[in-house]
Amino acid sequence: MPEWVEAGFWGLLAGSALLIGAAVGFFVRVPRRVTASVMAFGAGVLLSAVSFELIDEAHEQGGLLPVAIGAVVGALAYTGANVLLSRRGARHRKRSGDEQPSEQEKPGSGTAIAVGALLDGVPESVVIGAGLLAGGPVSLVTVIAVFLSNVPEGLSSAAGMRQAGRTSRYVFGLWTAIAVISGAASLAGYTLLGGAPPEVLATITALAAGAILAMITDTMVPEAFEDAHLLVGLITVLGFLVAFALSHT
C-alpha cells in the first residue's frame, strides 16, 4: 500500500471510533458516572500520547525552541477558535447531559457544534499523517491512542446531542463527516509535510500537540470530572499507562 494511501486510511480508522462512540451514546442510556469514567480513560490516553509521542518526538527532531513555539501557538489558536465557537453554542459539545443548547434555545448552535467537532479532530489526524514521515511504529501508537480517545468523545457528545433534541440524522451525519475529514487531514499531514526540514516538522507536531492539550482541558476534563467519583483519577492514570505501554513495546 502506498504510504499516502496508508496515511489516509489510518486517519479514517481513528476517526471512525467517533461513530462507534456516537452509536453507543445515542442509542444506549449510559449512566453519567460510566461516561465520566470512559472520558477520564480517554483523557489519560491522549495525555500520554501527547507527552511521549508528539512532544518527545518533536523535541528530538527540532529541539526545545520549535517545540515551545509550536505548542504555544497551537494552544492559542485552539483556544481562540474555541472561544468564538463557545459564544455560538458549542461550549458543551462533549458533554453528555443537558448542557448542550437546542437549536431553538441557541439558533446556529448545531453548526457551531459541528465546526467545534472538526476543530477537535483535525490536529490529531494531521499528526497521524506526519508521524508516517518519521516511521511506522510511532504513527501506529498515535493511531491507537487517538482511536481509544475518540470512542468516549463520540459517546459523550452524542448523548448530549440526543438530550438537546438533535436527530440521529444530524448526529451520525456529523460524525461520519468528521471521520472522512480525519482521513483527509491525515493524508494532508503526510503529503504537505513530506520533505519538510526537521525543525518545521517539529514545530507542526508541537503545534498539534498544544492544540490537543488545550482540547483535553477545555472539553474532555470537564465531562470526566462532572460526575467525579473516587476512581476517576485512577482511571485517568490507567489510560495514561496504557498509551505509555503501547509507545514502549
Q: What pLDDT does 137 receive?
A: 45
d(CA 143, CA 6): 12
137 by DSSP, 3-state: which? helix
DSSP letter for each residue of 94-131: T-SSS-SPPTTTSTTHHHHHHHHHHHHHHHHHHHHHHH
145 by DSSP, 3-state: which? helix
Question: Chain-centre distance of CA 182, in angstroms?
Answer: 10
Question: Chain-centre distance of CA 87, in angstroms?
Answer: 21
- What is the per-residue burial (b if ≥16 Cβ within 10 Å, else e) of 33-58? eebbbbbbbbbbbbbbbbbbbbbbbb
Residue pLDDT tens, the chain, 249 long: 677 787 788 889 989 999 999 999 999 988 888 888 888 998 999 999 899 888 988 898 889 999 999 999 999 999 999 999 998 888 888 887 778 888 888 888 888 888 888 888 888 888 888 777 655 444 677 888 889 888 988 888 888 889 888 999 999 999 999 999 999 988 888 888 777 788 888 898 899 999 999 999 988 888 887 766 678 889 999 999 998 988 877
Amino acid identity, position 241 = L
- 8 A C-beta contact, residue 10 and residue 186: yes
Q: Which of 14, 26, 39 is nearest to 158 (CA)?
A: 26
Q: What pLDDT does 138 receive?
A: 47
d(CA 11, CA 239): 21
d(CA 110, CA 164): 10
Q: What pLDDT does 135 receive?
A: 52
The three three-digit cell numbers of residue 223, written as one number: 465531562
The three three-digit cell numbers of residue 246, written as one number: 503501547
Phi-psi region of 109 (alpha: psi -120 to 50; beta: other; left: phi over 0): alpha
d(CA 56, CA 63): 10
For the entire predicted model, the pTM comes to 0.87
